[in-house]
Amino acid sequence: MTSRSAVRTNAIIFSILGLVVALLIHFLVLSSPRYNWIDPVLQQTEAAPEALFQGAMMVLATLGLM
């Protein structure tokens, strides 16, 4: 049986390693409260749209458009 090419073996190993590292980073980011889109904190999601709206209204009032 002939041995496989070292380049192909390294490409497979590093592809699998890269996938594992990418998944690890994504799950670490998902576990942070700021970027957790699976189970968001309700206080942050309820306050954010209203704060954004109030900020936009202040900008419009400052520019004299309201």
Q: What is the pLDDT of residues 4-60, one digit of tens each?
A: 788 999 999 999 999 999 999 998 888 777 777 776 665 454 556 676 677 777 877
Instruction: For residues 21 and 43, state if they share a domain.
Output: no
> What is the pLDDT, as a whole number, of residue 18?
97
Instruction: For residues 24 and 2, state if they share a domain.
Output: yes
> What is the pLDDT, as a whole number, of residue 46?
52
User: What residue type is assigned to position 16 of the chain?
Assistant: I
Which is nearest to 40 in space by CA: 31, 53, 28, 27?
31
Tally of structural domains, the chain: 2
CA 38 – CA 65 distance, rounded (Å): 38
Tell me the DSSP string of 18-47. HHHHHHHHHHHHHTSTTT--SS--HHHHHH
Domain that holds residue 44: 39-66
> What is the pLDDT, as a whole number, of residue 59?
78
